[in-house]
Amino acid sequence: MIVNPPTAPGERPAFRYYEFCMAGMVTVLLCANLIGPAKVCSVTLPVLGTFVFGAGNLFFPISYIFDDLITEVYGYARARRVAWAGLGALMFATVMTQFILRVPPSRLEPYNATLQPALEVVFGGTWRIVAASMIAYWCGDFTNSFVLAKLKVLTHGRWLWTRTVGSTMAGQAVDSLLFYPIAFGGLWTSASLFHVIAFNWTFKVSVEVVSTPFIYYVVGRLKRAEGIDTFDRTTHFTPFSFRDEGEVVTYRPR
């Protein structure tokens, strides 16, 4: 149901910033999965000790911030489209990198002798890591959007921080609990898996908490700019649909 629709009867609302949000999320997702995982970093903090983590984890939480913004402003159904776009981009990037790695390098170019091994190190992830990344992203992202949309209805649109932080806690838990066992189960000890999962979950949730004032600001601006606020009271929450559905009401700033 659309109250006071900004377009003519029968037309869908025209959004000015939805595509930009989608592009931002997919860009962060691709960069975090293609560039970051190749580098393992370590940071030593006073009292807490040394922490080891993949560099991609520094930026991957930004994709969840985008997911929160999209679900909060545009609703679960449109966030679902973004999730599938992200998965499609990851699949294409994987196919493209594997194809390029397997194309025979020209022996006429001496630089290829250095470039080919470097490309294989950076982009030649094992099938387990690639599969783990896609499965964890797909399940974690949909969990994040589902929890946020449900909490928004339960709280009647109040207390934004409870649903952004709460959905991230759930989504990142699913992501970490799937990715590391699938990618490294049997290679790492159980203790190592536990510590890495715990650290990455804590770090990613902390990024969301610290970003809360920024999220409040952007959500408010987007709702005013688009003239909508979405409550998924009638949405069918299956991941396997591309229909725009849900209850959209005009946003009126106080």
The CATH number of whichever domain residue 216 belongs to comes to: 1.10.1760
Q: What is the pTM of this model?
A: 0.88
Q: What is the per-residue pLDDT across 168-189, written as a single tens digit (0 to 9) for each?
A: 999 999 999 999 899 888 888 8
**For the chain, what is the domain count?**
1
Q: Give residue 222's pLDDT.
A: 95
* Separation between Cα atoms, residue 51 and residue 41, nearest integer Å: 8
Domain-located, residue 11: no
Does residue 2 lie in a domain region? no
- Left (φ > 0), alpha (ψ -120 to 50) or beta: where does 142 sit? alpha
Residue 36 included in any domain: yes
The pLDDT tens digits for 184-222 are 888 888 888 888 889 889 999 999 999 999 999 999 999
Region 66-94 average pLDDT: 94
| 8 within a domain of the structure (yes/no) | no
Segments forming the whole domain that contains residue 44: 18-249
Local confidence band at 9 (pLDDT 50, 70, 90 cut-offs): very low
